[in-house]
Amino acid sequence: MDYQGNNFNDFFQTNGHFVLKRVDNNYKLRSFTEKEIEHITDRYSTSLGNGSFGDVYKGRLDDQRPVAVKRYKNGTKKEEFAKEVIVHSQINHKNVVRLLGCCTEENALMIVMEFICNGNLYNILHCGNADGPIPFPLDKRLDIAIESAEALSCMHSMYSPVLHGDIKPANILLDEKYLPKLSDFGIARLLSTDEAQRTKTVIGCIGYVDPLFCQSGILTTKSDVYSFGVVLLEMITRKKATDGATSLTQCFAEALGGKKVRQLFDVEIANDKKKVKLIEDIAKLAATCLKLEDKMRPTMVEVADRLRRIRKALPQRKGESSTGINNGLIRTGKAIVAKVSHVTWWHETIHIAGAYVRVTVCGRAA
């Protein structure tokens, strides 16, 4: 990693040497001063959210690029901050929020990231508008699931594999084209050569944490697979991972045992026999991700591959838009834009052998 400035370099050598010695990639990060970030954020005037770590603000660089600034609470351990920055900076993938730089001044620890404008998957799934739930067709759910799985697959396959450790819908952001971007690497880990890491502290979010990790204290890439299985359940049921004392994984297990799993499916997408069969395939995939025996769980490479096969089998009737409705389509040359409520889904079309073929931008062919 190429850090700019002696003080910047010294900070990471002092507080992150144990991680630095295990990284392979070399990405440049910009060093920001506290005054520069005050200017960028207009003195922290626009809040994007907050959490146990601190607050997130919207800002704008001198070239007018919008950014998100994560400002850590005073008292944050420098070693934990350095680890997050170093681990995040190793990942160069279109479906991971890009880290641009950070501030390492005393009592002013902050990171600067690209700004992702359309909220997160949790909001789409569970926060409706005045008209009810936000329309969310099955093909779009699959597209988001596939690209998220591919990002995790890439992270797990790196020279120094990266375990995210906190996969959940709230950490899957959606950009202007509603492509997913994994975020929040606060508890991410670089895995050892044996692809496992022991920790004394249980980390992650209730409802998504691998129960095997809770028992053993050992983190592996299969811990992310378990969490992703919960996300798949949320995407096909539109139910929260935990809702009061109710656990989605427990409800799912009981439904599988009683062969009543179809009753859990979101009625918006379970509207014909063909789709129900494909949703059942997603449910079966989720079930394998949720197996208690981690060796029985698939890898994220296998998860992404199975999701792509399901996506390919998804029927699309002639004359029907990718959103399942016929109004609100705008044709603009090589692009088709479908507007649903305030949500915009975007696809690229390419001309091959006399026909227009639909592909997902920056992704794999649908």
Which residue ranges are tagged as binding site? 70
Question: Other C-beta atoms within 10 Å of 283: how many?
Answer: 20
> What distance in Å separates the CA atoms of residue 349 and residue 337, rounded to the nearest whole number?
11
Question: Other C-beta atoms within 10 Å of 278: how many?
Answer: 21
Determine how β-strand 197-198 pairs with β-strand 28-31: unpaired
Half-sphere exposure of 155 (CA within 13 A, CB side): 33
Say if CB 67 and CB 113 are below 8 A apart.
yes
> What distance in Å separates the CA atoms of residue 151 and residue 276, rounded to the nearest whole number?
27
Give catalytic residues, as residue numbers. 166
Provide the β-strand partners of residue 358.
Answer: 349
Binding residues for ATP are 70
Provide the β-strand partners of residue 347.
Answer: 336
Q: Kindly list the distances between the CA atom of residue 142 and the CA atoms of 13, 270, 313, in Å, as whole numbers in the listed order.
A: 42, 14, 11
* Helices (H), ranges, 238-299: 248-257, 273-289
Determine how β-strand 355-359 pairs with β-strand 343-352: antiparallel
Q: Which amino acid is at 256?
A: L
> What distance in Å separates the CA atoms of residue 159 and residue 87, rounded to the nearest whole number?
12
Nearest CA-CA partner of 93 in 72, 68, 114, 73:
114
> What distance in Å separates the CA atoms of residue 88 and residue 98, rounded to the nearest whole number?
8
The gap from C-alpha 284 to its chain's centroid, in whole angstroms, comes to: 21
